[in-house]
Amino acid sequence: MNKIFSKKSQSELLSVIMSFIIVSSSIILGNLTINETNITGNSIAEIQKTVAESVTVEIFANTSLKQYNESIILKLDNETFLENQQLEFYLNDSLIKTEITDSNGSAPFNPSNASPGIYSVVFQGNAALYLNPSRFVFGELTNETLNITFEGCKSFEEQVLWSSGFSNDHDSVNYQTWYPNHTCSELKLDNCIIKDIELYSRLVSTNAPDNSTEGEGYVQISDLKNCNAPESGKYSEYFAHDKITGDSKKEGGYCRNGKGEKCEINDNSTTSHLSCYGIKTYGSQYTLTDVFFVKYDLCSEVEENET
């Protein structure tokens, strides 16, 4: 009798243990950790091996980007808008600006003010909020599709000295005010457009701990309401942006499209000519960013072609 009772008890115990393991293995949305469980008995050795390790399961939500009028909207698959998330805007695969989404998941983008080229918007995702990345491609915009023409343009170049400063201990940021030497009056106009802004910029990395240390530098330009407060500008578009590794140097012509000849060919970005602009120059730790020359065109008008 005792022998029969013992076998029955073992069977019931095994059944209870199996039920416990099945329940403990259920996946719940979010993070689930199955902690180490000690179980004795030769008959369940394989079960011990399975549940002895800690397992973490993370489930991320899908996101999507869509264009709506003059905005880009970031939202979840269930149509929930995602606010306070950074979107990256690219022209021909070069980063031109970043924007933070508002309470409606919206960030501004106006194709009518865009330069010709292939545009895309990227959301890199957010691991802290379990959000997957997403990407949206506008396709190629040309002068014909944008219906933009420029007339009465004149090119200018002037020497400047804009610098981020340098530090071995932290990133460096500097704000300055640019007062263009040339004005609309040289075109005999009260108002005009400034376009094709190109900077001759230099990035220098020094005292880096090793050759694999990556540095970053960029220059941004903003309209200003107060010429004496360059830090108050809205800096989102990059007029120079590059990365550098180890102790090295890069220099050359930069614009919104990136570095090289394509700046002069493709960059037809425009803004109203103002008396002053804010300049934000950034250099990461061990990196110096500076600008020596700025080139730009002043044009009499921007017109829409009739279709």
CATH no. for residue 118? 2.60.40.180
Residues 74, 40, single domain; the answer is no
Report in angstroms the alpha-carbon separations of 40 from 17, 46, 49, 186. Answer: 10, 11, 11, 91
Flag whether pLDDT at 204 surpasses 60. Answer: yes
| SS3 state of residue 113 | helix
> From CA 10, how far away is CA 32, in angstroms rounded?
30
pLDDT at position 248, please?
Answer: 93
Flag whether pLDDT at 27 surpasses 50. Answer: no
pLDDT at position 258, please?
Answer: 59
Q: What percent of the chain has pLDDT over 90?
A: 34
CB 264 within 8 A of CB 153: no
Residues 196, 280, single domain; the answer is yes
> From CA 251, how far away is CA 38, in angstroms rounded?
63
Query: What range does the domain containing 24 cover?
Result: 2-57
Residues 75, 46, single domain; the answer is no
pTM of the model: 0.54
Residues 47, 137, single domain; the answer is no
Residues 207, 137, single domain; the answer is no
Element (H, E) at 145: helix 143-146
Per the structure, how many domains does the chain have?
3
Element (H, E) at 256: none
- Residue where a domain stops, chosen among 115, 146, 177: 146
> From CA 120, how far away is CA 81, in angstroms rounded?
20
Residues 141, 162, single domain; the answer is no
Instruction: Tell me the average pLDDT of the chain.
Output: 76
Residues 247, 288, single domain; the answer is yes
Residues 197, 113, single domain; the answer is no
Which of 258 and 194 is assigned the larger pLDDT? Answer: 194
Residues 138, 171, single domain; the answer is no
Which of 41 and 293 is assigned the larger pLDDT? Answer: 293
